[in-house]
Structure 1
Amino acid sequence: MAAERTVGSLHLARRLTVPAHAAPRQYARRTRALLGGWLALALAIVVHALANDAWPGAGTVAQAMHGGPSGMSSDATLGWLLFVDAWMPQIRAGLAAGACLGLAGALLQTITQNPLASGELLGVSAGAQMGLIVALLVPGLAVLPMMLAGGVLAALFTFALAGGTRTTPLRLTLAGAANALALSALCMVALTLYTRAAVGVVQWSTGSLQQFGKRGADEAIWLLLPAGVALLALLHPLGLARFGEAQASALGQRVGAVRVGTILLAAALSAIAIALAGPVGFVGLAAPNLVRLMGVHRPAWLIPLSALWGGAMLIVTDAIARALVTFGALPVGVMSAVIGAPVLLLLLRYGLPASTAEMTAPMAAGHRASNRRPMAVIAVLVVIALVAVTGLTLTMGVLPWPSVWQWRDVFDPHTAAGMLVDLRLPRSLIAMGAGALLAGSGLLLQGACRNPLAGPELLGVNQAAGLAVLALLLVSPDAAARWSMPAAWAASAGVLAIVLGVNARWGLAPMRVILTGMALAGLLAALANLLVLQFHVHATQALVWLVGSSYGQSWHGVRALLPWLAICLPLAAYAGRWLDLLSLGDETAEALGVPVVRARLGLLALASAMAAAAVATVGPVAYVGLIVPNALRSLPLTGTRDRIVTAALAGALLLGVADLFGRTLFAPLDLPLGIVTAAVGTPLFLWLLSRTFLRSHAHAG
């Protein structure tokens, strides 16, 4: 052990030694980054004051400083009070929140050796939102402590789920995405059951630096003192951690303890920022990378400078949002997503290649059986289950069993049985059809991208289609009935093209594909919340649509969805041969006569069309396109064509059961489809990750 430490010390000393000619350049870079940060912060504050028209004038300030506001005119007194009690708390909150986000991003990027890490990947925002809802629903609970507790607990759960001290960047990202989806589903359940909290939560989710007096900001800012002490204690270990775990361990550092402490501190800082400004994204990602572009890489300088630049970036973002008040004010959370999403896409497109092996891990091939008998057995069992679900849907709870089987009454809309069929059967059929399309879309995406994580939920495809349909419904309700599916297809195809274009040069590596999808999904979710607020939509109705629901469907919806089912599903089954050949690799597929580029583009266009048709009908239901194809990998199916057919049947069964449970579990309350699928899909997704992808890469990176 002593010899290993000696060798490690020699290697580290060699890497830490700065050549004499390089020292002045490093000093100049740090000086430029420091002075530039202070200058940017000063300019941001000035721009913010001008955008808010907050400066009361030099005379008013001088008079207030010398004699107090008592001797001033009423207009001057009002201007001074607005300056002190309204604008300055916003600046303090912006500085503190931006600094916390920058620090959290720099800490996570340093400890994971991943320049694309940030606090948003830990699920802190969803945990803080859950804490806010609990504080609103339970009398006597303080909002700030509950939000902080929710954010930190969410990050702890994400870290434990990802494998604790043995986690890797990809595992942490996947666990954070799954945890955020699960917490979002719980939030939706709470808001559906208690609608009085929905409006406030939707407004909070858009982000704002608006502070009501000094107390709220001061309470959160005081929490920065213990965080600062913890940061000082971690700076030296983080300086060693950037050279790798092997070097740090050889020098006697407890790598696991440092990683746990760093992630906990980053989670606490992210929670403080969210408590001050709401879920503001991308600042924690952009600020450390901007400092790196200036040539600063050592954590002792990178982390404090990230805090400085993070505060400046958040304040100038809020200033831009307020300057656009003429065109309708944009919340700071929406503006940060509008600015930050392109920044993240540029980093993904032109940044450094992934440093760990698992970021480019190929998709494992599915099990192949020797005959088609298992396929027939599985298909028959699923069809029987579908028939049983349909029967339960029609008969449960209202009419005695014999009356349903009186066919003359069933097809007579004036009888009780006929009215029951008109109310229940269309929504059940639509849910099943949407489930088949989503599951087929997920399987095509995973096969075409050769990535088991390429579900329409994680790539932003569902969110794009949902936003397009929501915008069409709000802008022109009459045109929505005719153009909702084409609009959803165009939006989903556009987002998919962005994901592919950004990641094509890196071989569609899983880590980069997921981060690209998360960036686009965050931007689209922020725009959806903005639409809800700008058009004064009832918050609960908007949330139900954005999570996915089959409520209120009729035979007209069945007729609209039927052509998409009749065209897309046979095409997907026919394309199974292409997927089998593409799974062998592009070079082998080309040698076998497959036009790889055209085949992949055709498969992706078909996948986006299937997802768009489903989302336009029932909304952006999560998990179906992600978990169903992965769950089928353990079944003894012959090839991709069999998996496509089975996936469509399984997706139909999943959403059929979800519709039945959502309608009956909390009757007369009708739970949206997306809530039920998230409640079922989250544990399944986590189990699949632990059983397959995460376990197979437990020692990577």
Structure 2
Amino acid sequence: MRRAVLPLAALASLGLWLLAAQASLPLAQWPDLPWQPDRMQLPQLLLTQGLMPRAVVAVLAGALLGLSGALMQAVLRNPLADPTTLGTAAGAQLAIVAATVLAPQLFAGGNLPVALCGAGVATALVMVLAARRGFAPVTVTLAGMLVGMTASALATALTLAEGHYLLSLVIWNGGALTQDDWHPAATLALALIPALAASALLARPLLVLSLGAEGARGLGLSAAPLRLSALALAVGLSALVSAELGLIGFIGLAAPAIARGLGARGLPRRLLIAPLAGAVLLSLADSLLLVLAALGGPNLPTGALTGLIGGPLLLWLLPQMQAHVPPGAETGTAQSTRAPAPGRRMALLALVLLTVAMLTLFAGRGPAGWGVIPPELRESFLPLRATAILAAAAAGALLAGSGAVLQRLTANPMAAPEVLGVTGGAALGYAATVFVHPAPGQLALALGAGLGASLTLAGLAAFALRRDIAPARLLLAGLAIGAFAASVLSAIMASGDLRAWVVLGWLAGSASAVTPAAAMTLAVLALALLGLMLALGRWLEILPLGPDVARALGLPVARLRLGLILLAGLATGAATILVGPVSFVGLMAPHLARSLGLIRPVPFTVASWLIGALLMVLAAFAARTLGSPYDLPLGLCATLIGGPWLFILLLGKGRA
């Protein structure tokens, strides 16, 4: 029965495509071979130069992505590896967007060199970290998804900063398979044939590599050149698809999983069946969307639909990581020298925060250049600035406090509130409110975002309690939820609906539209989080020692984990509701606190809280002044601060 799954799915895909094509042009009116475009009518041209090459492109691109994912999983011995989870596709996305916005002349040689450069750099970053961690699957996947999140955030920031490129980049980011000739199909076909031949040659050496690096060396096989060759092939295939079609996520993850489910246990069979599974899966997804559009539904990009399978598939595959993770690969913290006088350093941080807040309140950039607000304008401008600064500082403190709690909970300095998926859930709730409510007010939007964040937390908590998963896997579960939310938002953005631009503006993040009441509420929540962290200092001291030690000391580990997860998630959700899903402050602030020697729980959490507020005040100041007289998105400035920091962290001493 399992052998019939792929043929039946392929027949279903063909049937759906024929149904969509018949709705576009009745079969009796299809042109006869050989085609003569100069004698065809417009519907016939749309069929022969649009729908037909689109169907072929779906098959070829799915095969290439399936093969790319199978190679990555074989090299890394990681069932979660694919171009999406390793950041390869997001690196290509960032390179395409950056070249479009900053240096269009780079496209003189086509999209492929640009996409290949971005994909290669992103994958190289992950591989450098992977080599330092012994290629442990969970840590590699977590690092890859964080690199991908960074690249996607930077690409979004660049897109929002250049409005005249916005529509074309949003459509490209969605992974649309729409075609107007056969050139992309020919390009993909010419790449697939040698790729299949190369993978056949690599199958046996990769099988030897699966014995481990030492076993491979014992048989006379050098692991490093083999890994490099296989990964270069996989990255090249992914970059080619990204250059031709845009972002199409998770086909490389799903296709090898389907191959294993169909009984392909040996590597050579997986390398053969995974491309077939990828071709059928992408073709079926595209055919479904064609039928939906033919029935009067929205014309959505195929990449948005394939992205929807990523989150559930990651959650389903996550338990399979148990046998692949070396002991101790998921824990540990970076070593730092403890400060001799932590109280003085915290007091100095508080003084710096107050000083910067006062400077940003009175100083800035106006029509006459840099300077201080004139006395006659202070009554008008100071209340607005004070509200924005208070909201930004409170949001930064909430995000940083959440990151500090998560890092103590998981003993993992790569933990951050963004990876819980709470910001994605809040964004979905916000988007749902915009589309369901005819004229939503601020209260309705806040309630919608809060409900989305709460549902995300509930799902994550249920997943953690049911499976009792390790902390690092919990972060991966959060990233899976975030990936699902990002795919839904990508579909919304690519739909062309005018309401999507409202969501897009909020996604950029801005403190300028926050009301005084909302800013005060956010400040009260930030102070409440600080008080809770002080009260939980003893627990945060014990939890990083491991669950066995914590249980021996009488701590209810499961309930504590759940409570701290909910605390971090709710704090993140509160910041997200009012200033948008800004990123990286929750990751940077705890690292800066640790680098100052503030390691014990109370100094660590308090310093993280203060640094988070300081970083967000600086981001708000940059957002107000860099684009004067217009405000730049707060998320853009936070990303410009946080993106480079994350790359430095991954290449330095951080542990994923």
Offset at 1:623? 0.9
Match of residue 281 from structure 2: 313
Match of residue 512 from structure 2: 551
Whether contact under 8 Å (2:508, 2:633) holds in the other structure is yes
Whether contact under 8 Å (2:68, 2:233) holds in the other structure is yes
CA distance in 1, matches of 2:176, 2:386: 44
Alignment equivalent of 1:45, drawn from 14, 33, 43: 14
Alignment equivalent of 2:353, drawn from 386, 389, 392: 386
The answer to whether residue 243 in structure 2 is matched with residue 279 in structure 1 is: no
Offset at 1:681? 2.1
1:574-593 alignment, distance < 5 Å: 574-593=535-554
Whether contact under 8 Å (1:135, 1:142) holds in the other structure is no
Alignment equivalent of 1:127, drawn from 91, 101, 114: 91
Match of residue 51 from structure 2: 87
CA distance 1:367–1:162, shift in 2 (3 Å)? closer
Match of residue 151 from structure 2: 183
Classify the secondary structure of the residue corresponding to 2:108. coil
Q: Which segment is superposed worse, 395-404 or 630-639?
A: 395-404
Classify the secondary structure of the residue corresponding to 1:671. coil
CA distance in 2, matches of 1:68, 1:211: 17
Percent identical: 31
Letter in 1 for 2:290: R
CA distance in 2, matches of 1:91, 1:513: 38
Letter in 2 for 1:306: A
Whether contact under 8 Å (2:397, 2:612) holds in the other structure is yes
Whether contact under 8 Å (1:548, 1:674) holds in the other structure is yes
Match of residue 71 from structure 2: 107
Whether contact under 8 Å (1:383, 1:649) holds in the other structure is yes
Q: What are the superposed Cα offsets for residues 70-118 of structure 1, whole Å, 9 maximum, x if unpaired?
A: 999x8xx666544322221111110111001100110011111111111
The answer to whether residue 638 in structure 2 is matched with residue 677 in structure 1 is: yes
Letter in 2 for 1:130: L
Whether contact under 8 Å (2:92, 2:116) holds in the other structure is yes
Match of residue 11 from structure 1: none
Letter in 2 for 1:341: G
Alignment equivalent of 2:625, drawn from 660, 664, 669: 664
Alignment equivalent of 1:396, drawn from 364, 376, 379: 364
Letter in 2 for 1:397: R
Q: Which segment is superposed worse, 494-503 or 102-111?
A: 494-503
Whether contact under 8 Å (2:411, 2:544) holds in the other structure is yes
Match of residue 335 from structure 1: 305
1:431-580 alignment, distance < 5 Å: 431-476=392-437, 479-502=440-463, 508-509=469-470, 512-534=473-495, 536-537=497-498, 542-580=503-541
Whether contact under 8 Å (2:56, 2:185) holds in the other structure is yes
Alignment equivalent of 1:169, drawn from 137, 149, 152: 137
The answer to whether residue 184 in structure 2 is matched with residue 216 in structure 1 is: yes
Letter in 2 for 1:376: G
Q: Which segment is superposed worse, 202-211 or 135-144?
A: 135-144
Classify the secondary structure of the residue corresponding to 2:581. coil
CA distance in 1, matches of 2:547, 2:438: 45
Aligned alpha-carbon RMSD (Å): 3.4
The answer to whether residue 219 in structure 2 is matched with residue 251 in structure 1 is: yes
Letter in 1 for 2:78: N
Whether contact under 8 Å (2:331, 2:410) holds in the other structure is no
CA distance in 2, matches of 1:86, 1:361: 48
Match of residue 160 from structure 2: 192
Q: What are the superposed Cα offsets for residues 188-211 of structure 1, whole Å, 9 maximum, x if unpaired?
A: 443234211111111222222211
Alignment equivalent of 1:625, drawn from 586, 607, 612: 586
The answer to whether residue 344 in structure 2 is matched with residue 377 in structure 1 is: yes
Number of equivalences:
648
1:125-164 alignment, distance < 5 Å: 125-134=89-98, 136-137=100-101, 138=104, 141=108, 143-159=110-126, 161-162=128-129
CA distance 1:352–1:444, shift in 2 (3 Å)? closer
CA distance in 2, matches of 1:103, 1:181: 23
Q: What are the superposed Cα offsets for residues 40-98 of structure 1, whole Å, 9 maximum, x if unpaired?
A: 3233222222244368666656x814x867999x8xx6665443222211111101110
Classify the secondary structure of the residue corresponding to 1:240. helix
Q: What are the superposed Cα offsets for residues 635-664 of structure 1, whole Å, 9 maximum, x if unpaired?
A: 444742332222111100111112122322
Match of residue 19 from structure 1: none
CA distance in 2, matches of 1:522, 1:106: 20
Letter in 1 for 2:564: L
The answer to whether residue 607 in structure 2 is matched with residue 646 in structure 1 is: yes
Offset at 1:633? 3.1
Classify the secondary structure of the residue corresponding to 2:324. coil
CA distance in 2, matches of 1:52, 1:212: 15
Offset at 1:309? 0.8
Letter in 1 for 2:416: G
Offset at 1:219? 3.1
Classify the secondary structure of the residue corresponding to 1:357. coil
CA distance in 1, matches of 2:287, 2:458: 32
CA distance 1:277–1:498, shift in 2 (3 Å)? farther
CA distance in 2, matches of 1:658, 1:70: 55
CA distance 1:45–1:147, shift in 2 (3 Å)? farther
Alignment equivalent of 1:116, drawn from 72, 77, 80: 80
Q: Which segment is superposed worse, 464-473 or 538-547?
A: 538-547
CA distance 1:359–1:622, shift in 2 (3 Å)? farther
1:590-605 alignment, distance < 5 Å: 590-605=551-566
Whether contact under 8 Å (1:627, 1:684) holds in the other structure is yes
Letter in 1 for 2:72: L
CA distance in 2, matches of 1:669, 1:219: 44
Classify the secondary structure of the residue corresponding to 1:396. strand
Classify the secondary structure of the residue corresponding to 2:265. coil
Q: Which segment is superposed worse, 45-54 or 439-448?
A: 45-54
Offset at 1:552? 3.4
Offset at 1:438? 0.5
CA distance in 2, matches of 1:456, 1:571: 17
CA distance in 2, matches of 1:633, 1:135: 36
1:338-353 alignment, distance < 5 Å: 338-349=308-319, 351-353=320-322
CA distance in 2, matches of 1:342, 1:417: 52
CA distance 1:141–1:186, shift in 2 (3 Å)? farther
Letter in 2 for 1:49: L
Match of residue 234 from structure 2: 266
Q: What are the superposed Cα offsets for residues 264-291 of structure 1, whole Å, 9 maximum, x if unpaired?
A: 1111111222234321212111111111
Offset at 1:593? 4.5
Q: What are the superposed Cα offsets for residues 410-432 of structure 1, whole Å, 9 maximum, x if unpaired?
A: xxxxx311222133222111111
Letter in 2 for 1:216: P
The answer to whether residue 330 in structure 2 is matched with residue 361 in structure 1 is: yes
Match of residue 22 from structure 1: none
Classify the secondary structure of the residue corresponding to 2:53. helix
Q: What are the superposed Cα offsets for residues 479-528 of structure 1, whole Å, 9 maximum, x if unpaired?
A: 54224444434423432343454455765446533432332222111212
CA distance 1:541–1:490, shift in 2 (3 Å)? closer
Q: Which segment is superposed worse, 604-613 or 41-50?
A: 41-50
Whether contact under 8 Å (1:463, 1:525) holds in the other structure is yes
Whether contact under 8 Å (1:49, 1:55) holds in the other structure is no
CA distance in 1, matches of 2:24, 2:372: 75
